[in-house]
Amino acid sequence: MSKSQQQYDHIRLLAKNNQWTPQKSQELDKILDSLGSVSPTRKTLVTTYQHIWGYFKKKCTDEELHQYLKLLDELQPDNDSLGPFLVQLTAKYQIDYLQKSRLIIELNEREGQSISKN
């Protein structure tokens, strides 16, 4: 999602109805390989991070909300402080789905942060 909404939608169609086949697996691998060299844009990052934020909006503190809004406003693909902030919230609030998501795992690896369960 952070690199291409169109490809994300294509992956969602592949996974629809949970009927996975070897052909679908190959197609998914091709999509993921093609996205490896694609850089996210501000628009795709905003969409992705807003989606992730939805998991925190009812749990977060007022301070976290203000920090999120500030980082969202400042967000640029080459200056991304919002991703690491969302990794921290994922660890704090132990959102299992997000902890297993490719984006959070990649951000975690890039930043060297730990999102393991305490």
- Which whole-number Å values give the CA distances from 114 to 30, 36, 98, in the listed order? 29, 23, 13
pLDDT of 116: 46
pLDDT of 56: 96
pLDDT of 3: 60
Contact at 8 Å (CB) between 101 and 55?
Answer: no
pLDDT of 27: 78
- Residue 114 clears pLDDT 70, i.e. is over it: no
Average pLDDT along the chain: 84
- Residue 98 clears pLDDT 80, i.e. is over it: yes
CA distance 102 to 97: 10
- Residue 1 clears pLDDT 70, i.e. is over it: no
CA distance 69 to 75: 10
pLDDT in tens, 7-51: 667 677 777 777 778 887 887 778 777 767 778 889 989 999 999
Q: Considering the entire predicted model, what is its pTM?
A: 0.71
Torsion of Cα atoms, 58 then 59 then 64 then 70, to 10°: -30
Higher pLDDT, 30 or 84: 84
- Residue 115 clears pLDDT 50, i.e. is over it: no
Domain boundary assignment for the chain = 20-114
